[in-house]
Structure formats: C-alpha cells, structure tokens
Chain A
Amino acid sequence: QKEVEQNSGPLSVPEGAIASLNCTYSDRGSQSFFWYRQYSGKSPELIMFIYSNGDKEDGRFTAQLNKASQYVSLLIRDSQPSDSATYLCAVNSIRSGYSTLTFGKGTMLLVSP
C-alpha cells in the first residue's frame, strides 16, 4: 500500500514566523510531488510542485525534496493569518496499474495575529 504521511497538527505559528510542514512517502518510485492548500469548506488548491531533489522557491513558499530520505517539505515564510488552512501533500504513485496522486490526510496550520 503506497502511503503518504503527514502530521495532522494543528501546527500553530505566530504571524511573521516560518511555518514548516513535513511529509514522508513510501513509494520509492515516485517522481512528482505536490502541495495543496485547502481552506475549510473549499476545494484543494495547488500551490507548489517539485520533481527534483533540492529546493524550489515561489514567493513566500519553498518546497524541499529529498528522495533518498523519501521526504518532502513546505516552508512558508512570513506566515500570515490568511495562510491558516489545511495543507495536503500529494505524491505520484502507480497503483494497481494506474498512475495517480496519493494524498496525505493533511496538516492544519493556524497562524495567529
């Protein structure tokens, strides 16, 4: 069973701090990694994807990938109350002959003013 594990949280950080969200995955063959943000009652929204080991930066967001450790993380700099949401990690997997994304259950982030 291909799995994606995330700490459910909540992760609480003060406004302006760096929030660090972590994800581990079991499928060593995975090649693509994604972070989604989901506000309560809304649909998941893609915020970052990363394919290669190392860091990828986009504005206040940095995705980090370490395939050897099967670990992917998302850093949010200068956290804002509007960043309060559940963050879903997703990993490309092959399941029973089809290719799809396997999602973690998400980490809730709370940014306090």
Chain B
Amino acid sequence: IAGITQAPTSQILAAGRRMTLRCTQDMRHNAMYWYRQDLGLGLRLIHYSNTAGTTGKGEVPDGYSVSRANTDDFPLTLASAVPSQTSVYFCASSPDRGYEQYFGPGTRLTVT
C-alpha cells in the first residue's frame, strides 16, 4: 500500500450499534487525524494523535474515541452510534503536527 487506507468504504449502521472505522498509513508519519465532513459545515477535527501512544480531542470529540497503539494505525470508534453521526469520515496523516496533511479516501457512514 502507498499512502492512507480506510475501511470500510461505506457502512449503514443501526442506531445504538458500536462501530470502528479503520485507518492505516505506510508513510511513517508521526501525526494522524480524524475528521468528519458535513455539507455546509466543512471539515471538523474529531480527534488527533501527535505520535504513537498519545491522543487528543479535537473540535467535535463527543461520541467518538480513538487509540494509537503504533505509528501506522489510528482506529476511530463510535461506542453507540446516533443518527447525527451520519457523515463522511476522513483519516489524515502528517509528517509532524502543523505540517501538510494527507487524506485517506474516506468512509461514508449512515446511521439509521
């Protein structure tokens, strides 16, 4: 692989279910991010990780959790999905915080 991969590509999920969105990068970037993109609201940061073993809350963290056990992987978990979490989710990585970010292909999630 080259770059960032995300899985699944799309998902329809019943409200109340738990879901993990996967993100893997092979660029050995230190920093990784999760965004959601909604029409009219743009890209909003959910959680970030400046380096393996550390994570932090972004602009809209409620209802989401992340972990960063190693450099390559940064999964995003919705513990109990709600319809307002219907969105397109993008994972991104950066050589270091504050530098250019490279985006994965996205996951389109619909919560019914």
Interchain CA distance A31-B98 in the complex, whole Å: 9
Q: Does A32 contact B (CB under 8 A)?
A: yes
The bracket for how many chain A residues form the interface is 20 to 34
Q: Does A95 contact B (CB under 8 A)?
A: yes
Chain A interface main SS type: strand
Interchain CA distance A93-B50 in the complex, whole Å: 14
Check B42–A43 contact: CB distance below 8 A. no
Check B106–A98 contact: CB distance below 8 A. no
Q: Does A105 contact B (CB under 8 A)?
A: yes
Check B33–A100 contact: CB distance below 8 A. yes
Check B90–A104 contact: CB distance below 8 A. no
* 13 extra interface residue pairs, beta carbon distance < 8 Å, beyond A32-B99, A43-B106, A88-B42: A36-B103, A42-B106, A45-B103, A46-B102, A98-B48, A98-B56, A98-B58, A98-B97, A99-B98, A100-B98, A101-B101, A105-B41, A105-B42
- Which positions in B face A, CB cutoff 8 Å? 33, 40-43, 45, 48, 50, 56, 58-59, 90, 97-106
27 inter-chain pairs at a CB distance below 8 angstroms, sorted by A residue, are: A31-B98, A32-B99, A34-B100, A34-B101, A42-B105, A42-B106, A43-B104, A44-B90, A44-B103, A45-B103, A46-B100, A46-B101, A49-B100, A92-B98, A95-B59, A98-B56, A99-B97, A99-B98, A100-B48, A100-B58, A100-B98, A101-B98, A101-B101, A103-B42, A105-B40, A105-B41, A105-B42
